[in-house]
Amino acid sequence: MTMKDLNTIVNTLKEYCTETFNSLSSPNTFSITVTHSASWWLASLESPYFKALESSIAEIWNIQHPLKIREGGTVPTIFWLEREFKAPCVHLPLGQASDAGHLANERMRLLNLRNGKRVVENYLTRVAQI
């Protein structure tokens, strides 16, 4: 898969939405304004740092393989950190999709928090050996 630059993606999305609206022959008007955009970040699944984190999660949670889900509101920050410091990054979410992240009723299970601490400790031990 070819990674496209952010401006190409935004412009292509705007064109598609405009063309789709125009095909409806609606008496309404349509405009689209992008007020904020951010580059994506995608971890290398072959990175030794990713492998160390994956192993730490599996060990602490006593599972075969952690799920790899492409989501996360802080991902644009990770892209920036990786670019600025020229160092590989990993992302360790501690919550669940049902935690209502950044909403008034945001929550996290204590088990996730405690195991997250253990994962970080285990991960740092593994990173020291890379």
DSSP assignment of 64-100 equals SS-------TTHHHHHHHHHHHT--------S-GGG-
How many CB atoms are closer than 10 A to CB 57? 20
How many CB atoms are closer than 10 A to CB 95? 15
Tell me the pLDDT tens digit for each residue of 57-74. 999 999 999 988 877 666
Tell me the pLDDT tens digit for each residue of 86-110. 999 998 988 888 898 888 999 999 9
> Is the four-CA dihedral 91, 97, 101, 105 of positive or negative sign?
negative
In three-state secondary structure terms, 102 is coil
Query: Can you give the pLDDT at residue 2?
Result: 53
Structure token digits, residue 80: 């920036």
Structure token digits, residue 27: 């008496």
CATH number of 38-127: 1.10.150.900
Query: Can you give the pLDDT at residue 1?
Result: 41
- CATH 1.10.150.900 maps onto the chain at 38-127
Rounded Cα–Cα distance for residues 103 and 65 (Å): 30
> Is the four-CA dihedral 123, 127, 129, 130 of positive or negative sign?
positive
- pTM here is 0.74
Structure token digits, residue 130: 């890379």
**What band does 36 get if pLDDT is binned at 50, 70 and 90?**
confident
